[in-house]
Chains A and B, each alone.
Chain A
Amino acid sequence: MKKNDFKKQLLIDFVSIAAGYVLMRVLFAAGIINTYWQGIVLNICINVILTVSLNMTSGFLGELALGHAGFMAAGAYASAFFSKTLKLLPVIEFPAALLIGGLTAMLLGFIVSLPALRLRGDYLAIITLAFGEIVRNLLKNMDIVGGTKGYSGIPAYTTFTWAYLMAVICVLATRSLINSRQGRSIISVREDEIAAEASGVNTNTYKFLAFVFSAFFAGVAGALYAHYMRFLQPGVFTLDKSIEILVMVVLGGMGSIRGSVISSVILTVLPELLRSMSDYRMLAYSVVLIMMMLSKHSETVQAALEKVKGMFGRGRKEEVHS
């Protein structure tokens, strides 16, 4: 990246992030987005963090991870425990709780990355799955955080501003990491591990980095979730939750940050729109899912997509990897 381009990019980023924030605030204030949908917007922010962070391991590092909900759970419970136990000023306590959530998940990310150094592909997917289930099983049996009954009375710290800010930080940090030498090395592991090693890349270091980075933001998302819902139950953080996030990543395109953001918006809003269908909602969701995967790989749809892409000019750098 040339330095001038970089400055231009920085300006564009800043203006669009600020504009997005102001726009949402205006829509909230004017009542165009009602309280119910304000909650959905907040969920979108949390899902953006979850999706973009999972993209780090599944999209950029190229490892199928089925335990993202486990990191989220760890972050949620740790941060909730922190802010329930210590009664500090919210201004100090919440950022600290977010950090605690992120760091706790990061520690677990470190543990999960250890088998990742030896195993790849489906085996690693099973390990991450098993890990997520272990976290949930342990939480179920920890009476100090409510066990199966759930953990209630968590202070309501999460506001739109906080969620938006964290989502922005996650997206920018991920993009920035990917556009650095560390990010390139992570992608090289996905592309060809043996060639990466032969080119001097310590693949273990970068697998480790990707897992820890990914877990950190999942933990932050969990912390936001905890202080928004004010009630946690182990039953939320199931394999289904991990899969829900993975679906968002795959739909947005592996290794595309912009795609992850767009697909988290769509897949958070879509179930809400389908809510009127009540019983048919999940059925419709599964059909849409299968159709999307099928069409993604059908040649006619591919050709049509290429045309649309052509109309909007060439994709940005990050999309080269998708």
Chain B
Amino acid sequence: MSAFNQFLMQLINGLNIGSIYALIALGYTMVYGIAKLINFAHGDIIMVGAYISLVLLGTGLPWWLVCLLTIIACAVLGVVMEKVAYKPLRKASRISLLITAIGISYLLENLFQLIFTANPKPYPGFITLPPIVLGSITISSNYYITFIVSVTLMIILNLFVQKTNMGKAMRAVSEDEGAARLMGINVDTTISLTFAIGSALAAIAGILYSNCYSPINPTMGSLPGIKAFIAAVLGGIGSIPGAVLGAFILGMVEAMTKAYISSQFLDSIVFTILILMLILKPAGILGRNVKEKV
């Protein structure tokens, strides 16, 4: 394969993993924006989505129904999580919230480990469209479907947040919860909706991820979860376009580092870039720099 084709392949790899990070990062950034919570359990929703869809596929339901049911199940899980664990702590310190989120993450991982054991389970890929052939490179359907689905969802989400009343309510609550309440916005519903959307996106990420990277296991969500969170911070946490941009940059950096620099030192390189980025531009690429009022 020529060097150029090699490069193109890495570009496609980067776009693929970037789109999955982006779907997860969107959930992180929306929840952070509105609840100021680093929802460490968010990555585990991917895992939950993967397992639920695995079980449903086993029952012989059509793929689109499996996807729909998985998305609904994860959205409900997100809302339940919010109501049971986060809502009572809304006035608590950030660190208490973080520990609770970690507790939920452990709970989900161990619950699924108990049900499905820790052994990896093969995931039957159901995205079986013909691959696209561009000259000498072949792009498998997993790759372009992941990319198309992610980008479409991001556009829809952005339109939703910018144009609809619910979306405006979400932005208002993340700007100033108290003022939003005074303006008659139902803050509780808005926060629940945010969790529902974030979790639904994570469910889709879970399905797409499993299609590309079978088999699945109960801790599969934690690493992409952390990476997606880093992407969200990189792009400017709280910002939707920022999360997407950050995710694609991260995916690209990962793919290129693996191919051209070192796969062993991948994590060190990625995390060093993150640290330097944050030091140079603390608010992220698209984040706003909020100065504390004195």
Contacts and interface: CB of A to CB of B under 8 A. Distances in A.
Interface string B58-88: 0000000000000000000000000001001
Contacts of A133: 267-268, 271
A243 interface: yes
Interface in B247-294: 264-268, 271-272, 274-275, 278-279, 282, 292, 294
A134 interface: yes
Given A64-B95, A137-B267, A290 B104 contact: yes
Interface string A127-158: 10111011011101100000000000000000
B271 A286 contact: no
B8 interface: no
Contacts of B266: 137
A307 interface: no
Contact of A126 (B109, B272, B278, B294): B278
Contacts of A306: none
A132 to B, nearest CB: 9
Interface in A231-263: 239, 243, 246-247, 250, 254
B249 to A, nearest CB: 15
Q: Which of A134, A141, A239, A296 has the most CB of B within 10 A?
A: A134
B275 A131 contact: yes
A287 interface: yes
Interface stretch (A6-14, A92-100, A275-283): A275-283
A298 interface: yes
Contacts of A285: 106
Interface residues of B, number: 43
Contacts of A293: 89, 92, 96, 99-100, 103
Interface in A207-253: 239, 243, 246-247, 250
Contacts of A282: 106, 109-110, 113
A247 B99 contact: yes
B246 to A, nearest CB: 12
B275 A194 contact: no
A131 B278 CA distance: 13
B132 interface: no
A137 B274 CA distance: 15
Which size bracket describes the interface of A in this complex? 35 or more
Interface stretch (A18-26, A117-125, A310-318): A117-125
B48 to A, nearest CB: 15
A297 interface: yes
Given A194-B292, A279-B114, A297-B91, A289 B103 contact: yes
B282 A130 contact: no
B89 A294 contact: yes
Given A126-B233, A138-B268, A250 B95 contact: yes
Contacts of A58: 95
Q: Which of B89, B94, B95, B237 has the most CB of A within 10 A?
A: B95
B268 A134 contact: yes
30 contacts: A64-B98, A115-B275, A115-B278, A118-B282, A119-B278, A119-B279, A122-B38, A122-B233, A123-B282, A126-B278, A130-B230, A131-B271, A136-B267, A137-B265, A194-B294, A247-B102, A250-B99, A282-B110, A282-B113, A286-B103, A286-B104, A286-B107, A287-B107, A289-B99, A290-B107, A294-B85, A294-B88, A296-B92, A297-B91, A298-B88
Given A118-B282, A133-B267, A287-B107, 11 more contacts: A115-B275, A119-B279, A126-B230, A126-B233, A130-B274, A137-B268, A282-B106, A282-B113, A289-B99, A296-B92, A296-B96
Shortest Cβ-Cβ A-B pairs, 6 listed = A286-B106, A289-B103, A130-B271, A286-B107, A290-B103, A137-B267
Interface of B: 32, 38, 85, 88-89, 91-96, 98-100, 102-104, 106-107, 109-111, 113-114, 226, 229-230, 233, 237, 264-268, 271-272, 274-275, 278-279, 282, 292, 294
